[in-house]
Amino acid sequence: MTAPRFQFTLHATDGKARTGTIAMQRGEIRTPAFMPVGTAATVKAMKPKTVRSTGADIILGNTYHLMLRPGAERVARLGGLHHFMNWERPILTDSGGYQVMSLSDLRKLSEEGVEFRSHLDGSKHMLTPERSMEIQRLLGSDIVMAFDECPRADRPRDEIAESMELSMRWAKRSREGFDSGEDHAARAALFGIQQGALDEDLRRVSAQKLTDIGFDGYAVGGLAVGEGQEAMFGVLDYAPGQLPHDRPRYLMGVGKPDDLVGAVERGIDMFDCVLPTRSGRNGQAFTWDGPLNLRNARHAEDTGPLDERCTCPTCANYSRAYLHHLHKSGEILGAMLVTEHNLAFYQQLMQAMRAAIEEGRFAAFASDFRRDYCKA
């Protein structure tokens, strides 16, 4: 039996929290799902098979960075992103819009798209909805993101409204560009991105426009850009419910473990964030008892594991004292071991949430988690 192009099945709900499965040709994705970020065709400090061994079903690649280096056409000539980086399971690629806005000082926004200069060498590029779809097709992405603009939440409401309407016009062009991809469109999926910053009415309009266009899944965009957890949760109290119930809901760029629990509590199914890998390289480990800084002198003679409850190889084989030594010495192994632990911890957290939802005890799980994780 041939695997479906894209099929989302809800298994259980508990309050607003949901657990399910996304079936695609390259494998199944269990939700709620956390996607490790592989910006430049690599999850930093990790081998692909190690990323998979932590429990990751899908990873994220970045359109902006890959279009600049090594180039989407080159990746296509070399067999596509999956073959290039030796990851045969699903890959989601973001559209590049956020990076264009955040990384390029020299950019010009128009109805057509965004003209910008590379942060690498200053070369000039034009990124449009159609070009974003083409790049993601050349990469061989399994889940393609629509091209959008991500405005800051502190911009005036009329500017946020204008930006949202532009993103909705770009969403329609993204849909048309994706559908023109023939073979790729027949095996991949396309997600739309809701915008509207912190404004409930603008987000309702955005959700309706996206639903009218029709997508395989829907992202809540424009959050985790400096507004704070309270404001983010305020939007998540209503935004997921504005989107189709029978499609996955993806919160982009989030986040800390307590962010994930609070977002699942509010109906989110998918996440990505650089935090577990970036923190791992900087000596910060996430544990069930909260984050800890391995550079702190109190770990210098601690023979215990990072986390007594964690089953990852780092916790099974290495002490806090050794990891403290590696990070103080600037040894690469320190980044590798703590990154592996952090990714494993995130996947253990997702699995624990999936089990709690299935068993109808998510509220108690979330309460217990916050009691232990946030006690400091």
Tokens at residue 93, please? 């690629």
| 94 included as an active-site residue | yes
In the set 142, 148, 216, 272, the catalytic residue is 272
| 272 included as an active-site residue | yes
In the set 94, 142, 216, 259, the catalytic residue is 94
- Give the residue numbers annotated as catalytic, written as ranges: 94, 272
